[in-house]
Structure 1
Amino acid sequence: MSGVRGRFVRPRSSQPDLGRANRPRSGGDRRHDVAIVGGGPVGLLLGCLVAARGLDVVVLERRSEPSGSSRAIGIHPPGLRVLDAAGVGAAVRDRSAPIRDGVVSCEGRTLGRMRFREPVRALPQHETEALLEARLAALAPGALRRGVAVTGWRDRGTHVELAVASPPGAGVIAATYLVGADGVRSTVRQVAGIGWRERRGRAEYVMGDSDDTTDATTTALLYFEPSGVVESFPLPGGRRRWVAWVRRAPTPLDAEALATIVATRAGASVDPSSAGEPSGFTARQHLADRFANGRVALAGDAAHEVSPIGGQGMNLGWLDAQQLARDLAGGVAEGGVLEAFVAYDRARRSAAARAIRQARFNMRMGAPAAGARLRARNAAVRVLAVPPFRPLLAAAFTMRWL
């Protein structure tokens, strides 16, 4: 196929029984409509959406067990609507904590307040993934295959063949379309030869969860302090997440260190005895040169790396999945046409570029500031927090513009 070169790794053992025949090739092997590489929140959601449309889907995840680590929590209104379409929205609402408003302060003074027309929901990512995994199992039993590491793929003109290294004997998996939802180090993207360009916006943070000792049970607290931002969001079960900008993570990074940062900088209280082990991370930003190439499309972190604070990247990936599911269904209905992802590439890459610009602005606003810069920043926050700009600020926070 013109412009697409896939690296194919020859399997060392025979191909396993892949289940009932769907679209037989010359050898009688099953060909799926869609193969999704990556069983995180975006890959699982996309699997649910295409299975609900009646497509034959397989989701390949290299991890043998789900991850229970603390990651994204924010589920914004546009993302929640996609979860509704997948059939898990009601369960998410039932299990999550609503964030109905936000307060921005600096040095003990309130700079602004915003109330959200639709609440943001907070739910730990591993719980959201569990709901999606159960839904996929109900829609397409056996579609999720764990412990399967994809090592390469090749476009055969009418379909794509994937080679996998594990489990032994897994052989080759064939599908009409391939979606890479396999994260920032995406194998699918690398084999496709799609460029991965860094965008401006980079910062270091530490984060941790503890019992909520505030009286702001449905409020996001944003401390825009001279020494760097501290952000705090309610969680289910009377818990709260704390995220703080740092020049570098303290050593050792433990609950006491996180509590000290929050108390010293924001004057807020974190109970170390109730806190889980905190973690440090670097917020980086990248954008793929293309989101699609022939029969192959990228979604989620494989296509765009955006600051993860507030769940921006996860929700952006879910919106990728929403459009991609429609385009995949249309492509299969038309007999596996090659041009299925043209509109997806254009629309979702543009949306990701907007999200990256907003995240860069957010990181700049949260960086340390002093003197005239601090006064200008605080004045800008005050202006944004009053009519007619307040609704625009709330819409940006809840990602309604995506």
Structure 2
Amino acid sequence: MSDHDVAIVGGGAVGLHLACLLAQRGVDVVVLERRTDPSAASRAIGIHPPGLAALDAAGVGGAVRAEATEIRSGVALSRGRLLARVRFGGQPILALPQHRTEALLRERLDALAPGALRTGIELAGLDDDGERVALATHGDGAVRARWAVGADGIRSTTRQLLGIRMLPRRGVGGYAMADAPDTTRAGATAMLHLEPGGIVESFPMPGGQRRWVARLAAPEPGMTTAQLQRILDQRVPEPPLLPADATTSAFLARQRLAERFVRGRVVLVGDAAHEVSPIGGQGMSLGWLDGLALDRALARGTAPADELAAYERGRRRAAERAMRRAAWNMAMGAPAGRAELEARLALVRALAVPPGSAAVRAAFTMRGL
């Protein structure tokens, strides 16, 4: 049985980020990841200003900036007409595929603590004796640590072994997305097309690509590229041409909050603690802010129970604020009849001018979380 200061379950974006923060302080950290190979799936791309500050704290902000595309403004349109524009000023949102962000974090962790990331290891059991946590695994033997952290995502095994329930929150909807060459001439601008059938969002990405996300009337797990193309053709005045080999994914966006984030010497971070709708793209950055807060709590160390209680209170409030914002975004993008859509468009126009524009800018850039 190997012995460590902190054992992190989950080697995704949030777990790797926390491991880097800890390793920088000389903490003996180990990361247990069940996958043997990194995922290259099309997932989160948005890195908001607070998330970028968290990456700076872990020593990878510069590398992320070098690869990412800046999103400097957002526009709302309907039937091809411009409704509103919000500029993000000196705090752009960055777009970088999650697998590249994770690769940069893995490189940083390997430089700080070679061998700290162990792949092909799946958590099988937890035993917290009040002094240390023993983690039984399928794979490379058991691990023991002063603290254990569950950063193992929405279907967190850590959370399930602790018997912690996920409580539903407002906000649910079906979506489909795919990436395509950017032919919009929109540059560093995100576009939100508010249409009767539901919103279509598009975001610039590195390599001259743009991500397209369409709201669906209902989840369609078997969505094909051709089906998504038809939706874009119907809703967007100048639709993209999705490549025949594009990876199209359909998913159900929902929101859930763990009934608690801390149990004894085991702490939950990221999606293991809060499932926030990916619409608005704030879940990954929220997880990095969890990591910053937990690193500070463990660094103080003089009264662990008090520090972790404060961590839980603060991060729960932040997750609830993010969920309220995401629920509003989802409601604004749902399919709508003519009268309801016109009311939404009027609201969007009103929010495009002060003081509403300041609130919109703060929401999109994750200020206050």
Tell me which interval the TM-score lies in, with the shorter structure as reference length: over 0.9
Q: Which residue of 2 aligns with 1:279?
A: 249
Cα contact 1:72–1:310 (8 A) shared by 2: no
SS at 1:322's partner residue? helix
Q: Which residue of 1 aligns with 2:37?
A: 65
Per the alignment, do residues 179 and 357 of structure 1 end up closer, same or farther by CA in structure 2, a change over 3 Å counting? same
RMSD of aligned alpha carbons: 1.5
C-alpha distance in structure 2 between counterparts of 1:171 and 1:294, whole Å: 23
* 1:155-174 equivalence runs, <5 A: 155-166=128-139, 170-174=140-144
- The Cα shift of 1:189 comes to 1.1
Cα contact 1:205–1:243 (8 A) shared by 2: yes
Q: Which residue of 2 aligns with 1:25?
A: none
- The Cα shift of 1:234 comes to 0.1
Cα contact 1:211–1:274 (8 A) shared by 2: no
Q: Which residue of the other structure, out of 374, 380, 386, is the alignment partner of 2:347?
A: 380
2:45 is matched by which residue type in structure 1? I
- The Cα shift of 1:269 comes to 2.0
Q: Which residue of the other structure, out of 177, 186, 192, is the alignment partner of 1:222?
A: 192
Cα contact 1:73–1:310 (8 A) shared by 2: no
C-alpha distance in structure 2 between counterparts of 1:275 and 1:269, whole Å: 17
- The Cα shift of 1:371 comes to 2.8
2:183 is matched by which residue type in structure 1? T
Gaps of 5+ in 1: 1-14, 19-30
Per the alignment, do residues 252 and 306 of structure 1 end up closer, same or farther by CA in structure 2, a change over 3 Å counting? closer
C-alpha distance in structure 1 between counterparts of 2:222 and 2:307, whole Å: 50
Aligned length: 368
In the alignment, is residue 130 of structure 1 matched against residue 103 of structure 2?
A: yes
1:46 is matched by which residue type in structure 2? L
C-alpha distance in structure 1 between counterparts of 2:103 and 2:217, whole Å: 34
C-alpha distance in structure 2 between counterparts of 1:216 and 1:275, whole Å: 24
In the alignment, is residue 371 of structure 1 matched against residue 338 of structure 2?
A: yes
Gaps of 5+ in 2: none
Q: Which residue of 2 aligns with 1:306?
A: 276
Q: Which residue of 1 aligns with 2:28?
A: 56
Q: Which residue of 1 aligns with 2:63?
A: 91
C-alpha distance in structure 2 between counterparts of 1:112 and 1:205, whole Å: 23
- The Cα shift of 1:274 comes to 6.8
Cα contact 2:221–2:251 (8 A) shared by 1: no
In the alignment, is residue 111 of structure 1 matched against residue 83 of structure 2?
A: yes
User: Alpha-carbon deviations, 1:260-288, whole Å to 9, x = none?
Assistant: 21121122321233762211111011001
1:377 is matched by which residue type in structure 2? R
User: Alpha-carbon deviations, 1:359-378, whole Å to 9, x = none?
Assistant: 11110000011232112111
Cα contact 1:104–1:224 (8 A) shared by 2: yes
Task: Quote the sequence identity (%).
Answer: 57
C-alpha distance in structure 2 between counterparts of 1:247 and 1:79, whole Å: 31
1:299 is matched by which residue type in structure 2? V
1:215 is matched by which residue type in structure 2? R
C-alpha distance in structure 2 between counterparts of 1:308 and 1:173, whole Å: 33
Larger Rg over CA atoms:
1
SS at 1:221's partner residue? strand
- Give the TM-score of the pair, scaled to structure 2: 0.96
- The Cα shift of 1:249 comes to 5.5
Cα contact 2:21–2:295 (8 A) shared by 1: yes
In the alignment, is residue 120 of structure 1 matched against residue 93 of structure 2?
A: yes
Q: Which residue of 1 aligns with 2:263?
A: 293
User: Alpha-carbon deviations, 1:201-246, whole Å to 9, x = none?
Assistant: 1100000001001101100000011110000000001000000001
- Give the TM-score of the pair, scaled to structure 1: 0.89
User: Alpha-carbon deviations, 1:57-98, whole Å to 9, x = none?
Assistant: 001000010000000000000000000011110111110000
Per the alignment, do residues 76 and 275 of structure 1 end up closer, same or farther by CA in structure 2, a change over 3 Å counting? farther
